[in-house]
Amino acid sequence: MKNRLRVLRAERAWSQQDLAERLGVSRQSVNAIETGRYDPSLPLAFRIADVFGLKIEDVFANPSREDAQ
């Protein structure tokens, strides 16, 4: 699943550790999500969107839906 996590984090000048603390996860988890090695659980995806004040679809993209457009 593609995501805009790295861009959104950079816009706020947050480190991976800063975001991890806001989400209650490890820095390694943030890194794995950013690099696409791990897809977050639905509750975590909603927490991520909430931290950035966005809708979940503004943070995460469904690759199969992108191909259809």
Selected residue with higher pLDDT from 48 and 63: 48
Residue 15 sits in a domain of what CATH number?
1.10.260.40
Q: For residues 8 and 14, what is the distance between their CA atoms, to the nearest angstrom?
A: 9
Residue 17 belongs to domain spanning: 2-68
pLDDT tens per residue across span 7-61:
999 999 999 999 999 999 999 999 999 999 999 999 999 999 999 999 999 999 8
CA distance 69 to 56: 19
Q: What is the tally of structural domains in the chain?
A: 1
For residue 65, pLDDT beyond 60: no
The DSSP string of 6-38 is: HHHHHHTT--HHHHHHHHTS-HHHHHHHHTTS-
Q: Which residues contact 19 (CB under 8 A, 6 or more apart)?
A: 5, 9, 30, 51
